[in-house]
Structure 1
Amino acid sequence: MRMAAFIVTVFISTVASAGEHASSVFRQPEAIRPITGNVQVDFFGQKDLGGPPLLQEESAPALESGRKSPWLAAGLSLIVPGAGEFYAESYWKSALFLAIDVAAWAIAYNFDKKGDKQTDFFKGYANQHWSVVQYAQYTYDHYVPENQKPQYAGLIKPGTAGLPPWQRVDWNVLNAMERYIGTNVAEGKFYSHSLPPYDDQQYYELIGKYKQFNQGWDDAPPSFNYSEPVTPNFTYYSGEFSRADDYYSSATTYVTIALVNHALSAADAAWSAASHNKSLHASMRYQQVPVGLGVTYVPAARLDYSF
C-alpha cells in the first residue's frame, strides 16, 4: 500500500510538472510594464484594453469649485449691507458698506429722538402761550357781523371757566365761524384755514404759520391788522416748530441713505461675486496615461487665479 501511494504521488507530481512546462511553452512573453513613478498608474493601471496606446488627453466635464452665487450675494447685502461682499470674499467693501449702514441708522435714530424732544418742547410752549379761547373770542368780536353773532353764540361753552382753553371751545362752531368769515367778510379774507382739533399735528403747525392765528398768542395787541407783523412769541414758536421739523427731515434723509446703501451694496455684492467667479477657476479632469498594453485614467486638478 505504501508503494502504491508513493507511485500515485510521483505520478501526480510528474503530470503537474508537465502541465506547467506545456503552459510555459505556449504562453506569450509578457511585455515589461514601464515604471512611471505615479503610484496610481504603477499599481492600479488598467491594461489589456485592446488597441494601441492612447497618447492624447481627454478632459472630463470641469468641476468648478469656489464659485459664488451673484443672486445669493445680492440677497444677503439687500438684508444686511456688506454681507454679500463678505460672502464674495471682498472684505474691505464688506466693512465699508456695513459701517455706512450702522452709521446711517444711528444718525437717523439720533435725529428722530431730537425731533421728539423738540416736539415736546414746542407743544409745551404753545400750550402755555397760545389760547384758542383768546383767538376765538377776538375773531367773534372783530369779524362776525352783529346780525350773525347769535348764530355763533355757543362758541365758548358756558360753565367751563378754569378748564384748559382747548376744552372750553365748541370746535364745530369755531370752524363754521372761520369758514363764514373767510368767504363773506371783507376784513377777514385772510382767514384761510379752519383750526384743526387740539393736539393734532396741524393744530400746532397752523398757529405758528398763518397770521390768522396771531391773536391767540399771549403777547398779541388788543387789535390787529393783517399788514402788521406777528408777535415775538409767534415768531419764536415758529422757529422752534421748524427746528423739530428739521430734525425729522434729517432723520428721514439718513433713513433714505441707509436704504440706498442697501440697494448699492446688493448691486456691488452681485458684481463682486461675478468678478470672483471670473478670477478663480478650479477644475478637475481625467487624463489618459498609457500603461503597458492599455491606458489608465488619472485625475488631474487645475487651479487658475487671475488678478
Structure 2
Amino acid sequence: MRKLFILTIAFFLLIFYSNLIASEKVENYKYLKNLIFGYNSTKNFASMQFQEEGKIVGGLKSYKKAILLSGILPGAGGIYNGSFIKGCVFIGVEVLGWSLYFTDNSKGKDIEDEFHLFADTYWSEERYEHYLELYRQQYGKDPTNLTHELPEEKTQQYYEMIGKYDQFVCGWEDCDEWDGYSSKRLNYEDERYQSNKYLKRALTVTSIIFVNRIISLIDTIWGVKSYNDKIRSENVINLIPVKHNDEIIPSISFRLKW
C-alpha cells in the first residue's frame, strides 16, 4: 500500500510538472509568433487592443532548473528561487533524516545479527523434535498447540517464530518441560523487540524524508510561479500603437522596476 501511494503521487506530480513546463513553452511561442508575424502591417496593428498585456524583459526563473535542483537536493530549488531560509529548512530535514535513518538502521541490523547468533546457539530444532517425539510416545498424539510449521531455511520468519510462538519453546536450551518457561526465550524476544524498534523507526524516517521531498517540490514550483509573476508585473515590454502623421506606427515601451 505504501509503495502504491508513493507511485501514485509521483505519477501525478510528473503529469503536473510536464503540463506546467509545456504551458510555459506554448505561451512564449505564441507571443514570439505574434510579435514576428501578427503585427506586420499598420492596419493589423491599429486593430489590436490599445495596449497589449506586457511581456517580461528578462530574469524569469526556470521551472526545469528549479525542479531538477529540488529533485537532487530538497531545498536547493527554494534557494534558487530566493527563499534561502526555507530552502535551508528542507535541506536540514533531508540531512537529519538520512542521518537518523542510517543510525537506526545500523543499530537494528547489529542487534538482529546478535539475536540470530543467540538463537543459533541456544535454540535447537533437534531438541524441539525430540520433545515432540516424547509427547507422542506419552500421549499418543501431537500437542494441541501445533499451529505453525518452521521454514526449512533460517529466514526472517524462522527467527520470528521460534521466539514468538509457545509451541517452539521446548527448543530452547533451558526450557522447563513441565511449565514451558525459558529465560533465554524471554531474553531473545527482548533483543528481537529492540531490533524491530530501530528498524521500524528507520522506516518511519524514510517516510518523513519522502514527504519532505514532496513538499519541497511543491514549494519550489509555487516559488517559481510567484517569482515569475512578480517579475512579469514589474519588468515588462509592451507593444503600443502611436499615431504619427495620420499613421499608426508600432512602438515598444519598456517598464523596469528595481
Alignment TM-score, normalising by the size of structure 2:
0.69
- Residues 69 and 141 (structure 1), Cα distance of their counterparts in 2 relative to 1, 3 Å cut: same
Give the counterpart of 1:100 among 90, 93, 113.
93
Distance 2:81 2:209 in 1: 21
> Residue in 1 aligned with 2:206?
255
- Residues 285 and 211 (structure 1), Cα distance of their counterparts in 2 relative to 1, 3 Å cut: same
Distance 1:60 1:189 in 2: 84
> Residue in 1 aligned with 2:227?
276
Q: For 1:1-307, what aligned pairs fall within 5 Å after superposition?
A: 62-70=55-63, 72-143=65-136, 185=141, 188-221=143-176, 223-224=177-178, 228=179, 230-281=181-232, 282-285=235-238, 300-304=253-257
CA contact (8 A) 1:70 1:271 kept: no
Tell me the alpha carbon deviations over residues 43-63 of structure 1, each in whole angstroms, 9 at most, x when there is no partner.
xxxxxxxxxxxxxx9679623
- Residues 60 and 266 (structure 1), Cα distance of their counterparts in 2 relative to 1, 3 Å cut: closer
Unpaired stretches in structure 1, ≥5 consecutive residues: 1-56, 148-184
Distance 2:86 2:133 in 1: 66
Give 4+ residue runs of structure 1 displaced > 6 Å after superposition.
Answer: 57-60, 286-292, 294-298
**Aligned-partner SS, 2:114:** helix
Q: CA deviation at 1:199?
A: 2.5
Distance 1:79 1:143 in 2: 63
Distance 1:274 1:231 in 2: 65
Distance 1:124 1:289 in 2: 89
- Residues 229 and 131 (structure 1), Cα distance of their counterparts in 2 relative to 1, 3 Å cut: closer
Tell me the alpha carbon deviations over residues 251-283 of structure 1, each in whole angstroms, 9 at most, x when there is no partner.
101111111111111111111111112222321
Distance 1:220 1:197 in 2: 23
Unpaired stretches in structure 2, ≥5 consecutive residues: 1-49
Q: CA deviation at 1:65?
A: 2.0
- Residues 119 and 297 (structure 1), Cα distance of their counterparts in 2 relative to 1, 3 Å cut: same
CA contact (8 A) 2:135 2:143 kept: no
**Aligned-partner SS, 1:280:** helix
- Residues 60 and 124 (structure 1), Cα distance of their counterparts in 2 relative to 1, 3 Å cut: closer
**Aligned-partner SS, 2:256:** strand
CA contact (8 A) 2:66 2:224 kept: yes
- Count of paired positions: 207
More helix by share: 2
- Residues 60 and 220 (structure 1), Cα distance of their counterparts in 2 relative to 1, 3 Å cut: closer
Q: Percent identity?
A: 29
Distance 1:128 1:194 in 2: 21
Distance 2:175 2:206 in 1: 40
Q: CA deviation at 1:300?
A: 4.2
Alignment TM-score, normalising by the size of structure 1:
0.59
Which amino acid counterpart does residue 202 of structure 1 have in structure 2? Q
Pick 1 or 2: higher relative contact order, CA cutoff 8 A, min separation 6: 1
CA contact (8 A) 1:220 1:231 kept: yes
Alignment RMSD, CA only?
3.1
